[in-house]
Amino acid sequence: MQLGTLIFLPKKSVAYLNLYSHISGFYRLLSAQDVKVTLLGKFLIRYEITNMVDLWFNLINGKLVKITALRNYAGMLFDKIRIGVPIDDVLEIEPSLVYDEFEEVYCSPKGIYIETDPITDRVLWISVFVKELECHGFENGKW
C-alpha cells in the first residue's frame, strides 16, 4: 500500500491513516520519514510527511484530528476530486462544499476542507477532519 495513491474517506481516513487514531500508532511513520514538525498554538501539532500529507494531532488526547493531502498525493476524494482539479469541477461533483471567507477554504459538513490556489482556482490541498474539530471542547481533548 503506497501512501500517495489511495482514496479519501471523509470523517474517517486518507489512505490507511485513520482519524481518531492515537499518535503512538504512527511512531514508525513519523520517525522513518523526512518529517517536518510544527506546533500550532499550545495543543495542536502538525507533521508534514514528504510533501505528501500533513497529520494533525491534538496533544491533550493524542488523537489524529485532521489529515491534509498535499501536492504529491495522487489519491482521490469521491473517486473524482484530486489535487490540481479546477474548483468549478469540484463544486459540480460535491455541491455540499461552501466557501468560507474567514478561513479561505471550501468546507463541507461531510468533514472536508478544500483549499485552492487564488490565481488558478485549482485544488491545492484536501483535508478530512474529525467532527469535533469545530466543537467548543476540541482543544481540551475531551472527546
Q: pLDDT, tens digit, for every residue of 7-29? A: 555 555 455 688 999 999 999 88
Tell me whether residue 141 is in a domain. Answer: no
User: Is 139 domain-assigned?
Assistant: no
Q: Is the pTM of this model over 0.75?
A: yes
Is 119 a member of any domain?
yes
Residue 22 domain-assigned? yes
Q: Is residue 140 part of a domain?
A: no
Q: Which domain holds residue 7?
A: 3-133
142 within some domain:
no
Helix (H, G, I), strand (E, B) or coil at 24: helix
Q: Residue 52: how many CB atoms within 10 A of its CB?
A: 19
In a domain, 52, yes or no: yes
138 grid coordinates: 476540541
Q: Please tell me the total count of domains within the chain.
A: 1
Tens digit of each residue's pLDDT (9 = 90 or more) over 86-140: 999 999 999 999 999 999 999 999 889 999 999 999 999 999 998 888 777 788 8
Helix (H) / strand (E) element for 88: namely helix 87-93
Q: What is the CATH number of the domain that holds 82?
A: 3.40.33.10
Give the type of residue at 44.
L
